[in-house]
A and B are shown apart, each in its own frame.
Chain A
């Protein structure tokens, strides 16, 4: 479930905790252990163990038979992975890549634009947008996707009506604007829903970050004759880079694992196999195909890819803070 999960905690003001004032043994030594063990147990069982278990399963042949009977699982080494690589891995990855570039890019750009506008606008306009953004943020992904499906309904949808009213329909060269007949438009639509729901968090966070940039910097730049684009390049973006990087990483992680929106859209049209991105793929292989070993392999591949991407970005962030 890609969206409704907590992001990384590191962020402005959320730095690593300092050592607490040492408890001078006024309570028994066992107290902290007693307090934290329920959580640790739960975490080990529900996060730690599944991760390891997933890795193990990915090397096994684990299908519907094993699920129902609890029968023996056969160790097949890298076979699951091989099958994936010779199978759908490349197309799915490519599709996911384009999807990611689109969604993460759009989210960051739009979010930044909104934040910058918020900075300059009147307070009441700012409040209006904030309320709207919070309301949008609250909408569940399923519901958002369903609303967009209706908006883009081929016959009764507002989108088509708007396009024809603006005489733009012909430019899109889609026959009767059948959004759901073409994989690219389905994915674009899914991307739009994702971006729609993702922008609020990014915009609000970036706005908070912008507030921390002293006004004097912009004033000095204006005195030096810099236009708004220059100011953006030399002041805003460099100073916001840590936050932008963090938001970028978070967005990549979430959007990579997008499932809900795409699943809802796939439910409408029938071209599932061409619109599957990574988050959906694991589900398809595992549950639809009843091949849990392969599904686990897909999951592990995803985790690996994310680690690589995140690792590079985190290293950049850490290096940035060291200068």
Chain B
């Protein structure tokens, strides 16, 4: 299971394009009904998280469980954003701080990997240099390495360099899985911009640099958006690396910074009762950016940009 990949991107785009299939049979009603039922089942956990975020704690710890809130409250959200966190026994940094940490990490990962991979994809897509073939193979291989496998050596490496438990360390660690994918994808986008257009820009008075800036960049914008979102989601959602490399409060290394995913993980603790309402309120906030991004990419990718400029 993954957040998003090149094939998934295509798949979502195809599903979104569905309405333009020319020869359509009539939809079959039993199939549609079945689809609705399945949608309901699949949606249920999200739905349940949604309503439980707004239920007061008494109603949550109630049997039989309410499938629709009898009362609505914002208390869970207030609780989640309290400075001293939840639970009587474990003082922890606030959810807000952890959100901030997650955001900083994710955004820097995006900025850094975008910049670096943009240059690399330009090189691979537009130039024929010695070592290009090897580089492409290396990119492919790098994408097949399971992210989790790198945890231990990266941890030891960072520890040796003294960077463990710092935010820069986490940023560096996330770049590993992001970079091969972004270079590969951006390469495809850059390659799809016809060389003619670049040459036209040159004869129209652009230097190579301004041709890149004014012509190529706007045309690969969808690719940049998609890969940025992918990088963001990877960094935002991850737990293991955030826990090991950055840590959480109360571990051996005594750090007090953690990302939101670590904060959420820590709310369930066998030593005490889990504050479900607060957990779901916080989870909702945590999930929101990702869900919004996903819905954005889905529609964007169905549009093409270079159609019509070059007669094909």
Q: Is A–B contact present in the complex under a CB 8 A cutoff?
A: yes
- By a beta-carbon cutoff of 8 Å, the part of chain A in contact with chain B is 1-14, 16-23, 26-27, 29, 31-33, 35-36, 38-40, 42-43, 46-51, 53-54, 57, 62, 67, 70, 107, 114, 117-118, 120-144, 146-151, 155-158, 161, 194, 196-199, 201, 204-208, 211, 215, 246, 250-251, 253-257, 259-260, 263-264, 267-268, 270, 279, 282-283, 286-287, 292, 295-296, 299, 302-303, 306, 310
Complex Cα–Cα for A303 and B175 (A): 20
CB nearest to A159 among chain B residues = B65
Known A-B contacts A6-B181, A118-B35, A121-B28; the reply to A299 vs B152 at CB < 8 A is: yes
CB nearest to B40 among chain A residues = A132
Complex Cα–Cα for A150 and B151 (A): 29
The total of chain B residues at the interface (CB under 8 A) is 126
Q: Which of B15, B178, B276: most chain A CB closer than 10 A?
A: B15
Majority DSSP secondary structure for residues of A touching B:
helix
- By a beta-carbon cutoff of 8 Å, the part of chain B in contact with chain A is 1-8, 10-12, 14-16, 18-19, 21, 23, 25, 27-29, 31-36, 38-39, 42-43, 45-46, 48-49, 52, 60-65, 67, 116-117, 119-120, 122-129, 132, 135-136, 138-140, 142-157, 159-160, 172-173, 175-181, 183-185, 187-188, 191, 195, 208, 230, 233-234, 236-241, 244, 261, 264-265, 267-270, 276, 279-280, 283, 286-287, 290-291, 293-295, 298
* 18 A-B interface contacts by CB (under 8 A): A4-B233, A5-B147, A7-B7, A7-B8, A26-B208, A33-B123, A35-B120, A40-B135, A48-B142, A125-B36, A140-B239, A148-B45, A155-B63, A198-B1, A208-B11, A215-B23, A263-B239, A268-B270
In the complex, the number of residue pairs spanning A and B with C-beta atoms less than 8 Å apart equals 398
User: Cβ of A48: which chain B residues have Cβ within 8 Å of it?
Assistant: 138, 142
- CB <8 Å contact, A138 and B27: no
Residue of B18, B60, B237 touching A141 (CB-CB under 8 A): B237
User: Cβ of A18: which chain B residues have Cβ within 8 Å of it?
Assistant: 191
Chain B nearest CB from A7 CB (Å) reads: 4
Residue of A6, A132, A150, A254 touching B1 (CB-CB under 8 A): A254
- CB <8 Å contact, B294 and A134: yes
User: Cβ of A118: which chain B residues have Cβ within 8 Å of it?
Assistant: 15, 35
User: Cβ of A306: which chain B residues have Cβ within 8 Å of it?
Assistant: 146
Complex Cα–Cα for A5 and B126 (A): 27
User: Cβ of B265: which chain A residues have Cβ within 8 Å of it?
Assistant: 142, 263-264, 267
Complex Cα–Cα for A195 and B76 (A): 29
Chain A nearest CB from B161 CB (Å) reads: 11
